[in-house]
Amino acid sequence: MNKNRRQFLEMTTGLMVANFLSGCCLVKKPSPRCPFDPGFVDPEGILAIDVHAHIFNAHDLQVKDFVSRVAVRQSGGLGALAELLGGFLQTFAWAGAPSTRKELEVLRELRPAILACETEANVSRLRALRQQKYAEGRKELQKAAQKQIEDTEIQPNSLEGPIESLSATSQGLRQILDLPETYDELFEPPGDAVPLERKTPASVLKFVIEMFQYRYVSAYNYLDTYSGGDVKVDLMTPAVVDFDWWISEGSPTPSRLPHQMELMKEIAVLTGGRVHAFVPFDPFRQVVNDLGLDSGFSPIELVRQSISDFGAVGIKLYPPMGFAPYGNEEAGAEMPDMWSKRSWLTDVARRSDFGRRLDESMAKLYEFCAEQDVPIMGHSNESNGPAEDFEKLTAPKYWETAIDSFPDVSFCFGHFGGVGSENRSGESNVEGFLRLLKQDLEAGTSRVSADASYFSNVLDRPSALQRAIEMVYSFGTTTPTAAFDRLMYGADWKMLAVEADAENYLRDFNRVMLRLEETVGAETRIRQKFFGQNASRFLGLQRGSANRSRLEAFYDRNGITAAPSWMGKVDDQVV
């Protein structure tokens, strides 16, 4: 790698990766309608729930530490971002993204107009907010690019000529300098053309600029983006994450997690129950809290408040950060220096009883979930962790220990162990998770599910993905297996957004499932199960369930008088 390219990579990866976690897809302009408009949903269509998504921005993340400890060692989308762009602009990302406090102020000002469906005023204000953050992001990007040109004495003529003939460094710099003045110009719909590459410099830049966006605007963009096809999303359940103690020695993000969950409550209200979050739980933070040290807040108490008061529908776990779903004491015995040798972890992680204390923290969570009937989603792919041995803690055996130890808790394997994607352990993990699904089916308990989030092959290799899903459904037999009633739709939106054709993810997945339905027979209702029915069971949305009752009470408290589309479809569905 030449010097200029390396410097450009170092200059830009941080902002890129932060937006990899916080930006939005290549989105359409918002249509002139409010979140309650039936144009966003199809009352006669199948129930569609996206169980795995994100709408946070860079203010909600430890950007610098995430870039340096996680992104740079990844393959796939996150690794492509790190390779393409670099680690210099993360400070601009932190400064430019709106804080939760600022966004709550804005949303409380807009609340009457949004709830009254004052469509023209709403869309006008949304566009103004979006353009404001775009202009700030564009300014900071171009300032950094110009500084890079001056510092490295890049000659102006090296940025001229057909862009495809330029070096990677010059391509990136020129595209930054050529960013249009308005958001709408940059985010014109791409049309039907399919990009030759899944991740292009242009898609990267569009993704980067979204790092400055308001979260409510991102939620609106999501609903609008995925409302144009035969399947329209009735409910999305974005996950919030907590990485502070695993990569940043407990230093809080600029927008602290309790404030993030308060904001997610407001977004749930302002979308009329179309968006309900997963609250994160970090057992490391709970260990610190239980030791009487300053943990920032009690994670189990945040979980309780989010479920009871903020409209959250479940808990998100992120094991590749450094903890097993259960069995940490045994994992620590197998890998005795796994935590202690990490220089970036605090002394708490070097305690001889750290593994046992992690398990005690997880037990507190599981006991709460069993008591309140709250589902859990966890990252189950060997990816996006700060160390390879940490990523191995996502293995099926650790999930099986949790399932066996807490038989009344419902679990979802996020990313399904990496079906159809690169995975350091190949397909063995997928088979392990399939076995757990099969055991759950045979027991008749319906406590274990999986989601198909970030199955990006659907965008450019749908036939290969179809074969992978057929393998999942058949598992070596001629009849559908556990996955048939356990696999759920998820986009991992925002994370997926680096893909140049990401706005077609839902459309393309529907086409794959239609072809599968032709194979196995329409009477199987494979699309209905995959896009909504399995998720409604996992989330506990049926009438009379604990989550449904909590959400109905949440709507009553917050003045949501019209039932969201998902509710009627759940009540009418045939299971």
105 pLDDT higher than 80? yes
Q: Who's near 273: CB < 8 A, 6+ residues apart?
A: 235, 311, 551, 555, 560, 563, 564, 566, 567
In terms of average pLDDT, the best of 439-448, 521-530, 562-571 is 562-571
Higher per-residue confidence, 121 vs 194: 121
510 pLDDT higher than 50? yes
23 pLDDT higher than 60? no
Mean pLDDT of 140-168: 78
477 pLDDT higher than 70? no
The DSSP H or E segment spanning 516 is helix 505-520
* Helix orientation angle between 354-372 and 396-405, rounded to the nearest 10 degrees: 60
In terms of average pLDDT, the best of 15-24, 220-229, 278-287, 487-496 is 278-287
Token couple for 567: 């509710």
In terms of average pLDDT, the best of 45-59, 407-421, 456-470 is 45-59
Q: What is the pLDDT of residue 557?
A: 96
Q: What is the pLDDT of residue 520?
A: 78
Asked if 206 and 183 touch (Cβ cutoff 8 Å), the reply is no
User: How many angstroms separate the CA atoms of 248 and 378, rounded?
Assistant: 21
74 pLDDT higher than 70? no
Q: What is the pLDDT of residue 465?
A: 82
Token couple for 80: 């492509």
Q: What is the pLDDT of residue 113?
A: 81
User: How many angstroms separate the CA atoms of 549 and 539, rounded?
Assistant: 12
118 pLDDT higher than 90? no
User: How many angstroms separate the CA atoms of 350 and 332, rounded?
Assistant: 11
Higher per-residue confidence, 118 vs 179: 179
Sign of CA dihedral 242, 247, 250, 255: negative
Asked if 45 and 228 touch (Cβ cutoff 8 Å), the reply is no
Percent of the chain residues topping a pLDDT of 90:
47
Mind spelling out the 3-state secondary structure of 411-470? EEEEHHHCCCCCCCCCCHHHHHHHHHHHHHHHHCCCCEEEECCCCCHHHHCHHHHHHHHH
426 pLDDT tier (thresholds 50, 70, 90): very low
288 pLDDT higher than 80? yes
Mean pLDDT of 270-282: 95
97 pLDDT higher than 80? yes
Higher per-residue confidence, 376 vs 2: 376
Percent of the chain residues topping a pLDDT of 70:
81
Q: What is the pLDDT of residue 8?
A: 29
Segment 161-178, tens digit of pLDDT: 877 777 766 777 788 888
92 pLDDT higher than 60? no
Asked if 569 and 532 touch (Cβ cutoff 8 Å), the reply is yes
Mean pLDDT of 380-409: 94
Q: What is the pLDDT of residue 417?
A: 65
75 pLDDT tier (thresholds 50, 70, 90): low
Higher per-residue confidence, 39 vs 305: 305
Asked if 223 and 33 touch (Cβ cutoff 8 Å), the reply is no
497 pLDDT higher than 80? no
| Helix count and strand count (H, E) for the chain | 26, 8
Q: What is the pLDDT of residue 247?
A: 94
Q: What is the pLDDT of residue 298?
A: 98
User: How many angstroms separate the CA atoms of 428 and 413, rounded?
Assistant: 15
Mean pLDDT of 276-295: 98
528 pLDDT higher than 90? yes
Q: What is the pLDDT of residue 81?
A: 55
E strand map for 36-90 = 49-53
User: How many angstroms separate the CA atoms of 255 and 215, rounded?
Assistant: 12
285 pLDDT tier (thresholds 50, 70, 90): very high
Token couple for 164: 């495809």
